């Protein structure tokens, strides 16, 4: 009888060990925590009117019709076309952040 109890204990020990292994979850990598800035804005920086103005100026630049204000030369740089579009949007009163100084 002693042998039956010993084998019963061994068998039950094996079962619990397999349960522990099967119940373990695989480790998942968590994405690193994003650093929040001191001033977080939940709204958009630029309004839709500003986007339309920039889009219009970019189209004019691609067609070769956009000219700079002072010299009157053709604008070929996309960054300059964006700047012109944002400037016009500011004058029209659209939602655009202030210029960096």
Check the CA dihedral 85-87-91-95 and report its sign. positive
pLDDT digits (tens, 9 = 90+) for 2-57: 666 655 555 555 555 555 555 556 666 666 666 655 666 668 899 999 999 999 99
Does residue 6 lie within any of the structural domains? no
What is the predicted pLDDT for the residue at 100?
84
Tell me which residue range forms the domain holding 61.
48-92
Asked if the structure places residue 74 within a domain, the reply is: yes
**Tens of pLDDT, residues 43-82:** 889 999 999 999 999 999 999 999 998 899 999 999 999 9
Residues 6+ apart with CB under 8 A from 89: 47, 49, 50, 53, 54, 96
Query: Structurally, how many domains does the chain consist of?
Result: 1
pLDDT given for residue 19 in this prediction: 55
Does residue 31 sit within a domain? no
pLDDT at 53: 95
Angle at CA of residue 27, ends 24 and 28, nearest 5°: 140
Torsion, Cα of 67, 71, 76, 77 (10° steps): -110
């Amino acid at each position: 009888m002693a042998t039956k109890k010993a084998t019963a204990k061994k068998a039950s020990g094996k079962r619990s060990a397999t349960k522990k292994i099967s119940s373990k979850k695989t480790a998942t990598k968590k994405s690193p925590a994003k650093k929040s800035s001191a001033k977080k804005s939940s709204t958009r920086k630029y309004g839709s009117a500003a986007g339309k103005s920039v889009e219009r100026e970019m189209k004019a630049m691609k067609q070769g019709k956009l000219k700079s204000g002072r010299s009157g030369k053709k604008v070929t740089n996309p960054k300059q076309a964006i700047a012109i579009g944002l400037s016009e949007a500011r004058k029209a009163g659209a939602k655009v952040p202030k210029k960096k100084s």
